[in-house]
Amino acid sequence: MIKLLYNPAQILTLNTKGKNFKRGAEMNDVNLLTGHSILIKDNLIKEIIPNSETDKVSADEIIDLTDKVVFPGLVECHTHLVFAGSRANEFKMKVTGSTYEDIAKSGGGIVSTMNAVRNSSYEELLELSRRRIIDFIKQGITTLEIKSGYGLNFESEIKLLNVINQLKKEFPIDIIPTFLGAHTFPPEFISDRQGYVKLLIDKLIPFIAENNLSASCDGFCEATAFTPNEIEGIFSAAQNHQMRVKLHSEQFNAIGGLQSAMKFNPLSVDHLEVLKYEDIHHFTNSETVAVLLPGVSYFLNYQFAPARELIDKNSIVALATDFNPGSSHIQNISLIMNLAALKMKMTFEEIISAYTINSAKALNISEQTGSIEPGKFADFAIFDTNDYSDIIYSVGTNLCSMVIKKGNTIYKKPMETYENY
Ligand code: NIG
Ligand code: FE
């Protein structure tokens, strides 16, 4: 089956010349093409051709994209999308002065979502999650990472991973499960930290690896969560089971998480709001992606990660929502992009690199997706504008009008007319 994406106003190919990531100054080059069309063969990108050559092509389907902008399908590389309950009450407390850490210490925070998840059935969690995934797809997301981490015992962590794997079967986008058993200590193990670490190492990680429930292991290294030492024990076990690792680190305190993670060649280290200037070199020329989450800083009214310094020091930087009920109850990609521009001083082009090829790299899938290059999956986000700047400029507005995943149109925005109102 040959399809032709005909005559878009702009194509941002993000061409990496086979490198499959963009580092430092390369992030500024999105490879903008005009006067071109894209040929798709089955599920893959075949070729990008000048419009003048399209009459030689015999396509089974022509999709006219006149006056639209084509991006690689967006890659959302850090979410906690499968959760139950609401933490609106905590958000209200934050507005009147409590901090995220105060709330966590008083038994709220992650533990309150843990209780809601433990009390929810597999079916209930599925149903809550489906709506959220559709919301992401409508914004151009064609690859979505989802973490466990709100079960915090054997049964509930496996329930979460089973939900994520079921969603992966149901939806046409790629859904990538990450095991985050090391999110925080559940109340029953508060005075037996070693006991919980042992449960992760001896039971959960082997079971997850044997049953292919997740290929990567995440953790939270923080004063209120895991120590660097505990993280290293957990990551060793994960690596012994051929899992790749990634870490939530330097969110509130720099306690050595970054240094511990780096011993394990992590796919990414995420958050980095309090990353010290002298620690930036860990990302310079490294294959580890710095995943920045400006929605968290906004939602917690907190400082932003040093994106400019990371990029200027030749790092691979990605962006994500961190969508979760506590620290970033935000699913809006346009808002995240706008925050990255205004609050972290990233250029529009760097932001687009960060939400496509570099976020794919953070998930270890950038050889298959994240840029418009022949041989990659035909994954596209198509926007209803003729200038890509509008996507970041139009804060909070969803300009995505069509989503193509592996060659199939999986979403098309319904035509809105005044008569509908
Ligand atoms: O990425 N930092 C730790 N974990 C999540 C928050 C989870 C929650 O508050 O429910 C995060 O910010
Ligand atoms: Fe997170």
- Residue 78 beta carbon below 6 angstroms from any ligand 1 atom: no
- Going from the Cα of 107 to the center of ligand 2, the distance in angstroms, rounded, reads 19
Average pLDDT over residues 91-103: 87
Q: How far is Cα 258 from Cα 266, in angstroms, rounded to an integer? A: 10
Amino acid 421: pLDDT: 64
- Contact (CB, 8 A) for 287 and 265: yes
Give the tokens for residue 66. Answer: 């006149």
Boundary residue ending a domain (324, 346, 362): 362
Q: What is the pLDDT of residues 305-362, one digit of tens each?
A: 999 999 999 999 999 999 999 999 999 999 999 999 999 999 999 999 999 999 999 9
pLDDT in tens, 218-253: 999 999 999 999 999 999 999 999 999 999 999 999
| C-alpha distances out from residue 343 to 66, 334, 358, Å | 33, 14, 20
Domain count, the chain: 2
Question: Of all protein residues, whose CA lies closest to atom 12 belonging to ligand 1?
Answer: 327
Is pLDDT above 80 for 98? yes
Is 180's C-beta closer than 6 angstroms to any atom of ligand 1?
Answer: no
Q: Are strands 44-50 and 289-292 parallel, antiparallel or unpaired?
A: unpaired
Mean pLDDT of all residues in 72-82: 99
Ligand 1 pocket, 325 CB below 6 A?
A: yes
Q: Is there a contact between 39 and 92 (Cβ–Cβ < 8 Å)?
A: no
Residue 129's pLDDT is what?
98
Ligand 2 midpoint to CA 383 (Å):
28
Contact 224, 174 (CB under 8 A): no
Asked if pLDDT for residue 414 goes beyond 70, the answer is yes
Angle between helices 122-137 and 154-170 (to 10 degrees): 40
* Residue 131 confidence class, pLDDT cut points 50, 70, 90: very high
314 and 358 in a single domain? The answer is yes
Angle at the Cα of 257 (from 251 to 258), degrees rounded to 5? Answer: 90
**Contact call for residues 400 and 382 (beta carbons, < 8 A):** yes
Give 141-160 pLDDT, tens digit per residue: 999 999 999 999 999 999 99
* Burial zone of 330 (CB within 10 Å; 0-12 exposed, 13-18 middle, 19+ buried): buried
pLDDT, average across residues 97-109: 82
Element (H, E) at 247: strand 244-249
- Do residues 346 and 230 both lie within one domain? yes
Q: Is 218 in the pocket of ligand 1 (CB under 6 A)?
A: no
CATH number at residue 294: 3.20.20.140
CA of 230 to the centre of ligand 1 (A): 18
327 CB near ligand 1 (under 6 Å): yes
278 and 248 housed in the same domain = yes
Q: Do both 134 and 16 map to the same domain?
A: no
Q: Which domain holds residue 54?
A: 2-73+370-418
Looking up residue 404, the CATH number of its domain turns out to be: 2.30.40.10
> Dihedral of CA 117/250/291/322: which sign?
positive
Question: Do 114 and 244 sit in the same domain of this protein?
Answer: yes
User: Are 160 and 292 part of one and the same domain?
Assistant: yes
Ligand 1 near 270 CB (within 6 A): no
